[in-house]
Amino acid sequence: MMRNTTLCLAATLLALLSSAATAQSGGKAEAAKKLDCWNQNGQRICSDALPAEAVNAAREEISAQSGLKVGEVQRALTEDERAQAAVEAAQRQLDLAAEETRRRTDEAMLLSYRTEDELRRVFGERTAIVDNNVRTARFNVASLRDGLVSLLQTTGDREMAGKPIPPEMTSTIRQRHAALLRQHRLQLNFERQRVELDAEIAEILQRYRVKKGLLPAATPESSTAANPPAAKPTSTQ
């Protein structure tokens, strides 16, 4: 009789533990459930199923249990914004490389380089970054220009044939022309940075040679003559 009572109590305890675990699991699942809320046509919409047209929209994630905000998703970037973000990332990389070379060519460290070749290698990363930016910008300018010329020729052929010019074709021409102008400005900026980098390298080498006793200390007149103002980059257009 005692054994039966013990087994009954054990079975009851197991059932209670199982029920508690199930309830706890269900509570966690309910707590994890969330709603996505976004603005569409001036209206705020919340749903537990995100429609395709809202995938790229900025939205907030709201807990279905507490109603509190638990997360946030930024809207997807446009093509122009992605291009601008890439340019800014490249510029940040270049700025970091510039800061590193300035640190490594500080007065206290300048004499640690045994040869000019060792010193020139300090600038290797920055030179590679700027050269890559220049090449990429030139390629983009050439590609955009070729595409725009082809589109203009197609538009001209349609016009000569008496066919109407679709509005979307006119819009595309405007967009590509604006993109070409942006890339051209970037190209000129990167080419200017390359000229400035050459001038900086020349100035560091001049200081190095003076400290090594390879050159006499420069007077203001001789410094100006040895380092004339940097030439402006010429456009490849």
**Domains located in the chain, CATH noted:** 34-76 (no CATH), 80-217 (1.10.287)
Greater model confidence, 235 or 69: 69
Greater model confidence, 76 or 158: 158
pLDDT bin (cut points 50, 70, 90) of residue 6 is: very low
Closest CA to 140 of 174, 175, 176: 176
What integer pLDDT is reported at residue 90 of this predicted model? 80
Secondary structure letter of residue 54 according to DSSP:
G
Greater model confidence, 151 or 71: 151
pTM above 0.75, yes or no: no
Residues in the chain: 237
Greater model confidence, 96 or 202: 202
Show the beta-strand stretches assigned E in the chain: 34-40, 43-47, 59-63, 69-73
| DSSP β-bridge partners for residue 36 | 47, 61
